[in-house]
Amino acid sequence: MNKRSYLSTILIIVFLFSLTSIQWNKELFHSGGGETLLQIIKSLFQPDLSISTLLLALKSAWITLAYAVTGISLALLIAFILGILASGVLFNSGFGRWLSFGVFRGTLSFMRAIHELVWAWLFVAAIGLSPFAAIFALAIAYGGALGRVFADILNDVPQEPLNALKSSGASKLHILLYAYLPMTASNMLSYTMYRFECAIRSSAIMSFVGLGGLGYQIQLSLSELRYHEVWTFMFFLIVLVSAVDLWSNMLRKRLIL
């Protein structure tokens, strides 16, 4: 037996042993837990389709989408600028490159190290329950994540075309325009679209802190045990995310061809 099988055996034994610490009795579910689960599953097939709920869902979906679009647009702007600076492609070697790695990569890490929900709490505390709280929270956290990936994508391009441009007398900014950006645009766009999808889900969750939107409605309906309504809102969220997925696929196809 090699080392890996030893490790696997040990891990399996540890796992089996850990099962003994669970109390296999009725307290695993709270009383009526099974009943509730059944109810939730049942209402999956009978979502509330009354006009008033549908209108409310539509309105909430619109708010969620608006937060996500505004947030991701701002994030894209921040990420584009900081990502280019953090990649170091505009700097020669030495101090400038060191500065760009230290300062801009550091800034990006700071922005994304804190979850957007925490940013949202901070902004709600500072500026109150305003849409800006949600938008800024998304823009900062997602700007950090996007910017980091943009910088990595920019650092990964093949060197030959860059050297050719450099030796034909192009400046760093020229090379950015004529090589880095065209070579990376489709990659950046496709990652941005993926992040946009995440932003919609996140924007729904963020409304739990009281900012309106689909998440807020789901929370209200849940607390009033109206599972039929919960599913209506859930379906709207699913449709929203799928629509973005479809759109991003279409965009990607057009760009890569």
Partner 1 sequence: MTVNKMFVLKNISKTYGEMRALSSLSLIVEKGEMIALIGPSGAGKTTLLNILANTILPDSGEVIVDGITLHAYKSTKQFADKVGMIRQQFDLVGHLKVIHNVLAGRLKDWGFFKALLSLIIPQDSKIAESALEKVGLKDKLYERTSSLSGGEQQRVAMARLLVQNPQAVLADEPVASLDPVRAKDILYMLTKLASEEQQTLIASLHSVEYARKYFKRIIALQAGRVYFDLPVEKVTEELLSSLYSLEEEKQHE
Residues that bind partner 1 in the complex, under the rule CB under 8 A: 158, 160-161, 163-171, 173-174, 177-179, 182-183, 185-186
Q: Which is nearer to partner 1, 131 or 161 (CB)?
A: 161
Query: Nearest distance from residue 186's CB to partner 1, in Å?
Result: 8
Joined together, the tokens standing for residue 63 give 């708010």
- Minimum distance from residue 255 beta carbon to partner 1 (Å): 9
Instruction: State the minimum distance, in angstroms, from the CB of residue 164 to partner 1.
Output: 4
List the structure tokens of 161.
């075309």
> Do the beta carbons of residue 200 and residue 244 sit within 8 Å?
yes
Tokens of 151: 């910088």
**Closer CB to partner 1, 122 or 183, in the complex:** 183
Among residues 3 and 254, whose Cβ is nearest to partner 1?
254
CA geometry: angle at 77 spanning 196 and 207, to 5°? 45
From start to end of the chain, where are the E strands?
A: none
Which of residues 142 and 150 has its CB atom nearest to partner 1 in the complex? 150
Pair of tokens at residue 227: 């599972």
- The residues, ordered by sequence, that sit 6+ positions from 127 with a Cβ below 8 Å of its Cβ are 133
Least Å distance, CB 97 to partner 1, is 18
Judged by beta carbon, residue 56 or residue 154, the one nearer partner 1 is 154
Please report, for the chain, how many H helices and E strands are present, in that order: 12, 0
Residues 6+ apart with CB under 8 A from 196: 68, 69, 72, 244, 248
In angstroms, what is the minimal distance from the CB of 172 to partner 1? Answer: 10
